Amino acid sequence: MLSIYLSPAIIAPWQQNHRQTETVAKMSRKKAILCFTNNPETQVVGALIKQGEVKAREDAVSGKKLMWVDRPTATTDAQRKAISEFPEKMTNRCRAVLRNIICLSDSEEDDPSDLLVWWVRVTKPKRAEWLLAIKYLQKLQHPLVFKVTEFALLEESFEANIRDYTRLIDAYSEANLLKQAEVTFDTMKRRGFQCDSVVLTVLIHMYSKAGCLDRAKEAFDEIRLQNLPLDKRACGAMIMAYIRAGKAELGESLLREMESLEIFPGKEIYKALLRSYSRDGDSGGAQRVFDAIQFAGIVPDIRLCALLLNSYCVSGQIDKANLVLKNLKKIGLKPNDVCISVLLNAYEKENDLHKALAFLAELENDGIKVGPQPMATLVAWFSRLGVLKEVQHMLQEIGNSQVLCTS
């Protein structure tokens, strides 16, 4: 049978009301976990009832320690659902703390620190249980997940390492919480953790997204200063920082440096750099990046080819754009609606209706149907010219007369 000891300092206020005392005793039997120890150096963790909510409080009592872990009742469907979906293998320690956290109001203003102090002293959780609790809160996208993680990093039982700090900094970055990420990074350094290329890469990515090119450059230069090995993630993040800052040429310069070290970024980095040149109409830069893509062993798809074609059209080099189109056919790719629309827009800028009609006829011969996007471009152009009816017969043969008429 479990013995229960309550500090006089805790019981005194309750004895003024006999019913309240009975309520506490009833809750202690049915809805709480009570335990005690004879360690004279410890403190008592009692409980106070206030508006139906159990709160923890410490009182120094020599020779005894009482701990009360409340099991609150879920008040919303979302809370009940979250609690009901606990994994079967989740330990009772995790269930205890998660149940309490989930049943707090869904607000970032809540502070779970007292609850977590209580939980640590009662159950003495292991690192695996900390990680399981944090992972479950992340799955729920609970607003208190950051505060719980911050608390865990300072707990000895969590056995924090540099990767734990890296993950929290990255999570803050994804949530666009730049200031909190910087505070976490400073805390990590104060605790004696030496930042490595992984942490610095996360910082580069974070500052890149925030548009802080100088800070991203500082983090990248720190990798060089510490003689840490450059990898495609760090270089790719820095290239993206240059692209977002409108300095694609610096990104390309870093790309060349990477190639000299036989480091090749992912396809998305090449695509972002190619898109930047394409949008600006820098056909020379776009062609260089397109060649680099093939040098890296990446087979260009129709989207990459469309970006190269667009760079030539924007810069007014329609002949070279047509050459790109012919090369597409040679490697077995068919121009998509984007390619067709881009070329038609280029012909419209040149006011060259004859070549536009010849281009459409060529598509028909190749068995390529004009989709809604290029068709809308045609309709707008022909309407402005006042020749919509004259070309309707040709468009009917292409198979888009219905689109034309309804437009």
The string of pLDDT tens digits covering residues 280-315 is 999 999 999 999 999 999 999 999 999 999 999 999
- What gap in Å lies between CA 120 and CA 152, rounded to an integer? 10
Higher pLDDT, 12 or 42: 12
The band of 168, judged by pLDDT with boundaries at 50, 70 and 90, is very high
Query: Does the pLDDT at position 160 exceed 90?
Result: yes
Give the pLDDT mean for 377-391: 76
Predicted local confidence at residue 61, as pLDDT: 35
Higher pLDDT, 230 or 35: 230
The string of pLDDT tens digits covering residues 56-85 is 334 333 334 444 445 566 678 888 899 899
Q: Return the top range by mean pLDDT from 10-24, 93-107, 143-157.
A: 143-157
Predicted local confidence at residue 366, as pLDDT: 86
Query: Does the pLDDT at position 10 exceed 60?
Result: no
- What gap in Å lies between CA 58 and CA 44, rounded to an integer? 5
Q: Choose the weakest-confidence range: 40-49, 319-328, 379-388.
A: 40-49
Predicted local confidence at residue 364, as pLDDT: 85
The band of 392, judged by pLDDT with boundaries at 50, 70 and 90, is low
Rounded to two decimals, what is the model's pTM?
0.75
Q: Choose the weakest-confidence range: 4-8, 109-113, 163-167, 325-329.
A: 4-8
Predicted local confidence at residue 73, as pLDDT: 66
Predicted local confidence at residue 398, as pLDDT: 52
Predicted local confidence at residue 322, as pLDDT: 92
Give the pLDDT mean for 41-69: 35
Query: What rounded mean pLDDT belongs to the chain?
Result: 80
Predicted local confidence at residue 59, as pLDDT: 38
The string of pLDDT tens digits covering residues 367-383 is 888 888 888 888 888 77
Query: Does the pLDDT at position 192 exceed 70?
Result: yes
Predicted local confidence at residue 76, as pLDDT: 85
